[in-house]
Amino acid sequence: MKICIDAGHSIGYNPSPADPTYREGTRMFDLQNYLKPALERYGFEVICTRNRVEDNPSLYARGSMAQGCDLLLSLHSNAVANERNDTVDYVRVYYPVSRRGQALAQSLSETIASVMGTKQEPQFVVRWNSAGNADYYGVIRYAAAVGTCGMILEHSFHTHPRTTAWLLSDEHLRALAEAEAAVIAEYFEMEESEMRYELLKDIKSECYRPTVDKLLKQGFLQGKGGSGEETVLDLGEDALRLLVVLDRAGVFG
């Protein structure tokens, strides 16, 4: 399964009238950086339309890049006019006029609203162009043209002060990414794989590293090959946790 993430706009684009340090184009790129690894842990292959925060491909390029993907997610926050607005606060997900992915659009809208704690009911809607023969939004239309189901996720409104403050927290964006990935994985019936550590250098956690270094030094733990930081360990998260517990219990002296 392959997913294309499209962080909307570009660096610095759409400052919030409630807090100008919030920029939709920058912050949605930050969300992408949490969402990509979260989806990868479920086994999805993930590509992004913007690999650098400065990138700003056309809507045609963004939609077309999703060719061969099972889903395109375009990440945005919404706005009421261009002024601070203390009332309007809801999540909206746009999905294709073909109605493809409707159930996923509904689950995503409800999940995002619940994580964000937005005031009004979440919405999942389609929008036709004026001729009534295709999707209104370019990124969804161009994705549809290459056979991919595209969705725009509006993470409520950056004209709303509380929502803007909420989206400025890294911890919140991480929680949002985890929740979105879980909903998408459930929809595509993907299961989260246990984190595995192939090489010694992959173990960066302050929690695991001292124990692993100690066991290697004492010879209790021997790699399957390699040396130094390239030592092949091939350990799962559960195994590492168990070693740390045993170490704390004094098993290794």
Nearer to Zn ion by Cβ, of 8 and 122: the residue is: 8
Nearer to Zn ion by Cβ, of 76 and 160: the residue is: 76
Nearer to Zn ion by Cβ, of 13 and 128: the residue is: 13
- Distance of closest approach, residue 74 Cβ to Zn ion, in angstroms: 8
Nearer to Zn ion by Cβ, of 44 and 122: the residue is: 122
Q: Residue numbers of the site for Zn ion (CB under 5 A)? A: 8, 76
Query: Whose CB is nearest to Zn ion?
Result: 76
- Distance of closest approach, residue 154 Cβ to Zn ion, in angstroms: 7
**Across the strands, what pairs with 58?**
none
Q: How far apart are CA 123 and CA 238, in angstroms?
A: 40
- Distance of closest approach, residue 8 Cβ to Zn ion, in angstroms: 4
- Distance of closest approach, residue 9 Cβ to Zn ion, in angstroms: 6
- Distance of closest approach, residue 17 Cβ to Zn ion, in angstroms: 14
Q: Which of 68, 64, 62 is nearest to 32 (CA)?
A: 62
Show Cβ contacts of residue 178 under 8 Å, excluding neighbours closer than 6 positions: 34, 38
Dihedral-angle region of residue 14 (phi above 0 means left; psi in -120 to 50 means alpha; beta otherwise): left
DSSP states of 133-189: SSBSSHHHHHHHHTT--EEEEEEEETTSHHHHHHHT-HHHHHHHHHHHHHHHHHHTT
Nearer to Zn ion by Cβ, of 9 and 36: the residue is: 9
